[in-house]
Structure 1
Amino acid sequence: MDVPILLEHTGLLAAWRRLAIQAESGQRQLYELDEYGELVMNPRPSARRQIVLTDIFCHVTEQIGHLAAMSVAVTTRSFGIRIPDVVWMPCDKWDGFDRDDPVPFVPDLCVEVLLDSDRTQDIDRRVKGYLEGGAREVIVVGQCGQVQFWGARGQVQASMFGIAPLLDRMYLEEGGVSSIPSVGC
């Protein structure tokens, strides 16, 4: 039985570029590559999830600066090319790479919004991949709107960047009914 081989940055980038050529316009954000260069399809985010991740993006830009972006592909050391919902990094890090390709490293801050997302099954690997790849912090917004902050030493109580996202409860409800059950969230 053949054991899959982890692809290094150049191999992942070559696989990404092949997919980009094949993808229809606008579909580029719907896929990622795992650490073996295999395609990982992502469903389009719901309007509710898009509103919450836009809200998070606005909080980040208001609280630590305008150098944030949404849905940018980043290259991790151990988890392939992934697309966090929001990323932020200092100005000098935005220079020196082709912005049509995935960022060749993981930005300082990555945010994942798990509302109606199938990323919940691999969120631990995502957080670990981002942190191993150079992120200083990863923020995870859970399916019920709970916010977790992760750093090099594990989960922490508050953001090292001083980010305090305030999510509107209205967007955490579906069809007027709260998505937060009395038990579990």
Structure 2
Amino acid sequence: MPTTTTRAEKHQKRWREIVADPSLQELPHKVETNQRGQIVLSPHKNRHSVAQEQIQGLLDEHAPDGLQPTEFAIATAGGVKVADVIWMSPGRWEHMQETGDPSTLAPEICVEVMSESNDWDEMHSKRTLYLDAGAEEVWVVTEEGAVRFFADEEMEASEILPEFPEHV
């Protein structure tokens, strides 16, 4: 019986090739892939890193039983995307590990921090990819620090972590 490979699994395979390539080690950029498996580089910004740390700290404060790593790779149908911060329950992490590395199952919450190098069209695209990969919520933090919460549509607050602040 023939097996079929999903687009996310193809991107997962391509990601393993990228990670294994010695010439791509130690790049001073965030690395993702697009829908064709091509490498997309984004330079690191200090403000962006500080926002990630602040979000991670708030997630730890409001949901200490979960895991909240930064720069977390997720194999989606549109390439491997690297969420700035994620939150996942320990049970979700177990299921995610079963799908390989990078996971083809998204964590419960994916957070993206806006910068001058991206726009709302890109955020909408990433939001759709994360939700299609199984995320329950996607949060977008604006350059001003406002947190916008999304599931199928924008929400007033997170349904998973309703006490999370609206501003970072």
**TM-score bucket of the superposed structures, by smaller chain:** 0.7 to 0.9
CA 1:13–1:29 in 2, change beyond 3 Å: closer, same or farther? Answer: farther
Q: Matches of 1:81 and 1:42 in 2, distance apart?
A: 14
Q: Matches of 2:140 and 2:131 in 1, distance apart?
A: 13
Letter of the aligned partner of 1:142 in structure 2? T
Map of 2:3 onto structure 1: none
Deviation string 1:11-55 (CA, Å, 9 cap, x unpaired) is: 2122111111224433396211122222212212x1111111110
Deviation at 1:94, TM superposition (A): 1.5
Map of 1:33 onto structure 2: 33
Pairwise CA RMSD of aligned residues? 2.5
1:8-157 to 2 correspondences below 5 Å:
8-22=7-21, 23-27=23-27, 30-44=30-44, 46-65=45-64, 66-76=66-76, 78-95=77-94, 97=97, 101-118=101-118, 120-152=120-152, 154-157=153-156
* Contact 1:108 1:137 survives alignment (8 Å): yes
Deviation at 1:166, TM superposition (A): 4.1
Deviation string 1:138-158 (CA, Å, 9 cap, x unpaired) is: 110112222210012x00111
Letter of the aligned partner of 2:122 in structure 1? D
Secondary structure at 1:73's aligned position in 2? strand
Deviation at 1:102, TM superposition (A): 1.1
Deviation at 1:121, TM superposition (A): 4.4
Aligned residues: 159
Letter of the aligned partner of 1:56 in structure 2? I
Relative to the length of structure 2, the TM-score reads 0.82
Q: Matches of 2:119 and 2:109 in 1, distance apart?
A: 18
Deviation at 1:68, TM superposition (A): 1.1
Deviation at 1:117, TM superposition (A): 3.7
Q: Matches of 1:125 and 1:75 in 2, distance apart?
A: 14
Secondary structure at 1:84's aligned position in 2? strand
Relative to the length of structure 1, the TM-score reads 0.76
Q: What is the percent sequence identity of the aligned residues?
A: 25
CA 1:120–1:36 in 2, change beyond 3 Å: closer, same or farther? Answer: same
* Contact 1:88 1:107 survives alignment (8 Å): yes
Q: Matches of 1:158 and 1:128 in 2, distance apart?
A: 19
Identify unmatched segments of 5+ residues in structure 1: 1-6, 168-185
